[in-house]
């Protein structure tokens, strides 16, 4: 079952023990976390099942969402620092 984790889609996958061990070995050999390898495999599959334009649009939108998230986090931290310093918020 899929759920949301913020704006991301959260999917939990259970693998059978022997094939799961092969997957974990592959991730270790590549020097990546299993979740990163799984994400790469899924994105490759999604790209192959959709048109290049459709996939690129989704990729562009995802990058913009990430950038917006980073900018909001930076603004929030700056506001918190100003608040702790006793400075008034500018409109």
Joined together, the tokens standing for residue 20 give 């799961």
Give the per-residue pLDDT at 82. Answer: 87
Same domain membership, residue 90 and residue 79: yes
Same domain membership, residue 3 and residue 30: yes
Same domain membership, residue 1 and residue 38: yes
**What residue numbers bound the domain in which 14 lies?**
1-49
What is the Cα–Cα distance from 62 to 67, expressed in whole angstroms? 9
Phi-psi sector, 4: left (phi>0), alpha (psi -120 to 50), beta: beta
Same domain membership, residue 18 and residue 3: yes
10-57 pLDDT, tens digit per residue, is 999 999 999 999 999 999 999 999 999 999 999 999 999 999 999 999
Joined together, the tokens standing for residue 82 give 């100003």
45-89 pLDDT, tens digit per residue, is 999 999 999 999 999 999 999 999 999 999 999 999 988 888 766
The total number of structural domains that make up the chain: 2
Same domain membership, residue 63 and residue 38: no
């Amino acid at each position: 079952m899929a759920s949301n984790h913020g704006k991301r889609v959260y999917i939990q996958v259970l693998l059978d023990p022997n094939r799961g061990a092969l997957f974990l070995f592959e991730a270790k050999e590549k020097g990546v976390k299993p979740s990163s390898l799984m994400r790469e495999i899924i994105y490759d599959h999604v790209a192959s099942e959709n048109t290049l334009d459709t996939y690129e649009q989704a990729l562009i939108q995802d990058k913009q969402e990430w950038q917006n998230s980073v900018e909001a986090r930076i603004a929030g931290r700056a506001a918190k620092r100003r608040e702790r310093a006793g400075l008034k918020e500018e409109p």
